[in-house]
């Protein structure tokens, strides 16, 4: 039978998120049904709710950092059983046949991955769903191939943000082969940045945090950063020239990046992770003179996401979180836009009934 689901949804680009009820599909042979316990709040949720990209379809239930417990499995499911601790990240399906999918890089699916919320949802047609709906809800049904196992060493609440923030930073650190001896700079100590610091330190890198002020310096040092650099300090920036092999830029607002290129060593790369909606000028000369690169990275594939969860469990890494009730989500959005969180909001879905 369809699963009656309680949620918080946006009904347009300017109104607050409000309680919303809908049906999840009956689990099919390959599906896993999950009782959601916690859902992280990502800055991209705010972008989608506010229709900053111009393609949001309403009503929309955001949330792609999902941690919960299996409540039912289909007859073909072999990887999970009832009671397992599981996670769902930014995607719930892909074409499975393109080169990217066959190589385990489903996030770069050529026709396009099926995102956890806001994508066309043919599987939901039987219960009247035209688009996928996300984790600000108390249940979800997902194909077993897109479900992750959360190790027992990770608390479910602090594990939830790993499903987006954690893998978004882990994937480029692995792709650019960060390890002992690497010098990594992280621009912005927020939801993504604090995960990048913790992971890069665990990989053996010497990590520097770049920020606009020193108010998070103590936090950066607690997380293992060796250095803290204020990017408006021209002398300090000059002294750090050509120091870094990799810069992980996590800032999701429009900001100046051309000056940061001088911090890269020869063959160094700045990887852009923040979802900015305006262009960021870059000049050719700093790139040409040291064969530097500016690159982008999305999330990771399912295989790499599971690797990340296991790595975080092994090294005792989890997100720094502030747990909120579902009816605090609008306040959290307002605070998130002011960078007033250290470092990830997580919704306690067990309180959904009280709010909705």
Cα separation of 235 and 247, whole Å? 19
- Average pLDDT over the chain reads 95
Instruction: Tell me whether residue 218 is in a domain.
Output: yes
Query: Are 177 and 133 part of one and the same domain?
Result: no
HSE-up of 338 (CA within 13 Å, CB side)? Answer: 7
If asked whether residues 131 and 215 sit together in one domain, one would say no
CB 345 within 8 A of CB 321: yes
Q: Which residues of 148-177 are buried (b: 16+ CB within 10 A; e: fewer)?
A: bebeeebebbbbbbbbbbbbbbbbbbbebe
User: 40-50: per-residue pLDDT in tens?
Assistant: 999 899 999 99
My answer on whether 345 and 258 are in the same domain is no
How far apart (Å, rounded) are the C-alpha atoms in residues 217 and 219?
A: 5
Segment 100-125 shows an average pLDDT of: 95
- Residue 252 has a pLDDT of 79
DSSP secondary structure letters along 292-323: -EEEE-----HHHHHHHHHHHHHHT----EEE
Torsions phi, psi for 342 (to 5 deg):
-130, 95
Could you tell me which residue, 144 or 280, shows the higher pLDDT? 144
What value does the mean pLDDT take over residues 124-152? 95
**Closest C-alpha to 33, from 149, 150, 141, 147:** 141
323 and 234 in one domain?
Answer: no
Nearest alpha-carbon partner for 24 in 13, 16, 32: 32
CATH number at residue 327: 3.90.180.10
Confidence of residue 278 (pLDDT cuts 50, 70, 90): confident
What's the confidence (pLDDT) of residue 339? 87
CB 7 within 8 A of CB 137: yes
- Per-residue model confidence as pLDDT tens digits over 225-254: 999 999 889 999 999 999 999 999 998 777
Say yes or no: 231 and 332 in one domain. Answer: no
- Which residue, among 178, 339, 183, has the nearest Cα to 251 in the 3D structure? 339
Average the pLDDT over 3-11 and give the result: 96
Range in 42-51, 173-182, 197-206, 304-313 with the lowest mean pLDDT: 42-51
Q: Which residues, 6+ apart, have CB-to-CB distance to 122 below 8 Å?
A: none
Number of separate domains in the chain? 2
| Beta carbons of 309 and 162 less than 8 angstroms apart | yes
Percentage of the chain exceeding pLDDT 90: 87
Closest of 44, 55, 7 to residue 337, by C-alpha? 44
Q: What is the pLDDT of residue 257?
A: 84
> Within a domain: residue 262?
yes
Q: What share of the chain is helix, strand, coil (3-state, %, to 5)?
A: 30, 25, 40
Q: In whole angstroms, give the CA distance from residue 277 to residue 99.
A: 29
Q: Domain limits at 234?
A: 166-296
- Asked if residue 28 and residue 151 are part of one domain, the reply reads yes
pLDDT tens for each residue of 116-129: 999 999 898 888 89
Closest to 64 (Cα-Cα) out of 305, 311, 336: 305
* Boundary residue ending a domain (296, 311, 329): 296
Same domain, residue pair 144 and 226: no
Rg (CA), the chain: 20
User: φ, ψ for residue 183 (rounded to 5)?
Assistant: -115, 115
Same domain, 172 and 286: yes
Residue 356 has pLDDT above 70, yes or no: no
Q: Is 74 part of any domain?
A: yes
């Amino acid at each position: 039978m369809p699963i009656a689901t309680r949620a918080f949804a946006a009904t347009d680009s300017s109104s607050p998120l409000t309680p919303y009820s809908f049906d999840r599909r009956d689990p099919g042979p390959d599906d896993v049904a999950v009782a959601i316990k916690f859902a992280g709040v990502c800055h991209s949720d705010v972008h989608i709710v506010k229709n900053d990209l111009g393609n949001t379809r309403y009503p929309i239930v955001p949330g792609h950092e999902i941690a919960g417990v299996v409540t039912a499995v289909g007859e073909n499911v072999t990887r999970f059983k009832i009671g397992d601790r599981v996670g769902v990240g930014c995607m719930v399906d892909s074409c499975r046949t393109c080169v990217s999918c066959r190589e385990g890089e489903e996030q770069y699916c050529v026709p396009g991955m099926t995102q956890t919320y806001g994508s066309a949802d043919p599987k939901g047609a039987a219960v009247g769903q035209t688009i996928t709906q996300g984790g600000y809800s108390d249940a979800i049904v997902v194909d077993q191939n897109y479900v992750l196992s959360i190790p027992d060493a990770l608390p479910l609440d602090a594990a939830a943000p790993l499903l987006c923030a954690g893998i978004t930073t882990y994937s480029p650190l692995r792709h650019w082969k960060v390890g002992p001896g690497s010098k990594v700079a992280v621009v912005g100590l927020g939801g993504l940045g604090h995960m990048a610091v913790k992971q890069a330190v665990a990989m053996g890198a010497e990590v520097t945090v770049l920020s606009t002020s020193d108010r998070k310096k103590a936090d950066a040092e607690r997380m293992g950063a060796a250095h803290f650099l204020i990017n408006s300090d021209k002398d300090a920036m000059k002294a750090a020239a050509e120091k870094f092999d990799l810069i992980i830029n996590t800032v999701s607002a429009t900001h100046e990046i051309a000056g940061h290129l001088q911090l890269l060593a020869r063959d160094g790369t700045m990887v852009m992770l923040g979802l900015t909606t305006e262009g960021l000028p870059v000049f050719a000369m700093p790139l040409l003179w040291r064969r530097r690169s500016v690159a982008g990275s999305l999330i990771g594939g399912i295989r790499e996401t599971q690797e990340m969860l296991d790595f975080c469990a092994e090294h005792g890494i989890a997100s720094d979180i502030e747990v909120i009730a579902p009816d605090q989500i609008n306040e959290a959005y307002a605070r998130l836009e002011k960078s007033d969180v250290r470092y990830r909001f997580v919704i306690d879905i067990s309180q959904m009934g009280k709010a909705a």
